[in-house]
Structure 1
Amino acid sequence: MSSAPKPGWMSLALRQENRLMVGKLCVIVLLMFGFGYALVPLYNAICTALGINVLSLSERQHVIKASDLKNSQIDYSRKITVEFDANARGPWDFKPAVNHVEVHPGELTTVMYEFRNVQNKIMSAQAIPSYAPKQATSHFNKLECFCFNEYTLAPGETKQWPVAFVIDPKLPRDVKTITLSYTFFEVAGKGQKQAAVVAQPRL
């Protein structure tokens, strides 16, 4: 006849199972924290690779300084038609002051864009540029552009922003028209945070 297990043996086994469970939970928590920290560099790497960062590397490479214009030669032998397109991904107004301009390669040109927040809330947005044909991208050099920054606008607020650019004279001669297109995206959560800050009472 087998003897019954001692009462202390059951409590010891239960404590061991509890320790094992706690250990597993601690490992899971550590992995979750590690994954959360890893998301930040991973997100930045993906944005850089896809060219959708706040200011992508490709845009940084085509920013020029005012001092660089002194060494630039204007090619008066030809003109390039630059068309402007504006797309708004949300309930707001966004448009260029002119639909197109004709410029000489090497000539500094400035065009204004207008943005109006038609919502009844504070919003933040960012413009992302694109070019057609693609081969013109590396020859479209900006001195100033609203696409370099995010902007926060109050309800009904209107802003005008410039884009100052120079077409590189090295642009292939068969390219006679360039379309510069901007798409304005709302930056999720930024407007709500700004509204919360404004709404806080001052002490």
Structure 2
Amino acid sequence: MRKITIAIDGYSSTGKSTLAKQLARALGYAYVDTGAMYRAVTLFAIRNGFIGNGTERLQALVQLLPKIRLKFVPNAELGFSEMYLNGENVEEEIRQMEVSNQVSRIAEIEQVRYKLVDMQKAMGKNKGIVMDGRDIGTTVFPDAELKIFMTASLQARATRRYKELLDKGENVVYDEVLENVQKRDHIDTHREFSPLKKAEDAIVFDNSDMGLKEQFERLESIARRYMEK
């Protein structure tokens, strides 16, 4: 079978990362969670006072972008790579609501996207990769052999995110999670630079009523068909 590039885009809380991770493992491909990259930059912005508490100094963040080092480090015990920010493992911290509430705002900054898109293109130059995000099939890899656009109902996505946060021990309210998902949708689809949209040749994958096993089996079947072409 030939090596291909698999681009998975879609709305927040559709389970893109979980599914992409499983697919990459099954195919023996590299996996890149671009959302983790934007979350890491957001964490850097929060820690350095560039956003939050009524202060907005995003231009100062732009000036420090060359000093932000991002790296995926494999964790054999977990079976996937974790995000490191300037040498520190921040995998757990970037998944918290504080980061989720701000990540779409950081991701719409043009200079941030340029920096991360360049890194993502370099990661996938040799194919044999599964990458998920918001603009993979439209901006990062417009020539990807297989493009998937994941979607699900707003309620289904908010419920999944709510349960995920509860399982992690976070004190969250469902209505706040629902509002966060709605806000992220609006920002992701309306930003000026690389907005979330379906690539013309992408396969729409609505998983509103699918369990993880069914999702994975369907997507793996599609991927292997494309690898055999």
TM-score range, shorter chain: under 0.3
More strand by share: 1
More helix by share: 2
Q: TM-score scaled by structure 2? A: 0.23
Q: TM-score scaled by structure 1? A: 0.25
